[in-house]
Amino acid sequence: MDPALLRERELFKKRALSTPTVEKRQAASDSGSHKKKKPKVDKESSSSSKLSSESNGSFNIKTSSGYKFGCLAKIVNYMKTRHQNGDTHFLTLDEILDETKLLDISMKQKQWLMNEALVSNPKIEVRDGTYGFKPKYNLKDKKALLRLLDKHDQLGLGGVLLEDVEEGLPNSAKAIKALGDQIIFVTRPDKKKILFYNDKHCQFAVDEEFQKLWRSVPVDSIDEDKIEEYLKKQGISSMQETGPKKVLPIQKRKKPAGPRKRNFKTHNNHLAGLLEDYSDGVPIKK
């Protein structure tokens, strides 16, 4: 081989060894950057998963009690509606949950409804493991309503609230319309309607002279409390029991009186008459 070429080859090797290479360092830096980026993504995903799990847990805790009582209210309203429509037969809890579309409740909530909520509810009647609606007045038809109003009239109990009749009498609007003038409607100051029995035996003509005597008796000086007290003595209950409750006036606090005078104790009372007063000086002995 040509010696000149050999010398050039040796010089090329020396230059190659003396000049540093950067390729390996770039690869190392790239791999390091990838390694650093990965845990950041993992941290973000883990933190977001933690937040979502914590939020879901807090949401379930907040809505669990509200969901239970919401289910109870839905069941009671459904039982009331079906009773008003004439479906008065009792249902099991599974049938109620099926008809109200509450099949997604847990076993714990189901046990709560069965053992606590429905049993203690005043509007639900339990009979041999079945449940039905319990109105204030359980009326089957218009004749039962007329008997109830007649009984209230005979005993002096007054009328019956229309909302109580609508709650206990299936198809109440149709029955009330069929009774016609046998019922009298009276509207209270709070806009609630009351039903009274219209006793037609009491519809008779009164002599005008008696009417004048009746109207001549003054009652302006007698307040409602005295009238109510007189009725109770005669064994007649007052109509105010079905009306709105009276609101008692708020009693104003009495202003505190002025500062009280303090009574100080006097001492040496047993020496009265023996002690002398020297406030004007020592008395001169004669």
133: helix, coil or strand?
strand
Residues 119 and 147 in one domain: no
Same domain for 123 and 151, yes or no, is no
Q: Which of 36-45, 59-68, 225-234, 235-244 has the lowest mean pLDDT?
A: 36-45
My answer on whether 129 and 183 are in the same domain is: no
Whether residue 148 is found in the same domain as residue 127? no
- Which of 178 and 242 is assigned the larger pLDDT? 178
Q: Please give the Cα distance from 239 to 237 (Å, whole number).
A: 7
Residue 70 in this model has a pLDDT that exceeds 80: yes
84-119 tens-digit pLDDT: 888 888 999 999 999 898 888 888 888 888 888 888
Question: Does residue 246 lie in a domain region?
Answer: no
104 and 78 share one domain:
yes
CATH number of the domain within which 72 lies: 1.10.10.10
Say yes or no: 110 and 152 in one domain.
no
Query: CA 131, 132, 133: angle at the middle one, nearest 5?
Result: 140
User: Residue 93 belongs to what domain range?
Assistant: 65-133
Q: What tokens were used for 73?
A: 């209210």
- Residue 156: how many CB atoms within 10 A of its CB? 13
pTM score, whole prediction: 0.48
Q: Do 69 and 128 have their domain in common? A: yes
For the stretch 22-44, pLDDT in tens is 555 554 445 444 544 555 545 44
Q: Which of 100-104, 146-150, 237-241 has the lowest mean pLDDT?
A: 237-241
- Do 153 and 127 belong together in one domain? no
In the structure, what pLDDT confidence band is assigned to residue 58 with cuts at 50, 70 and 90? very low
Number of domains in the chain: 2
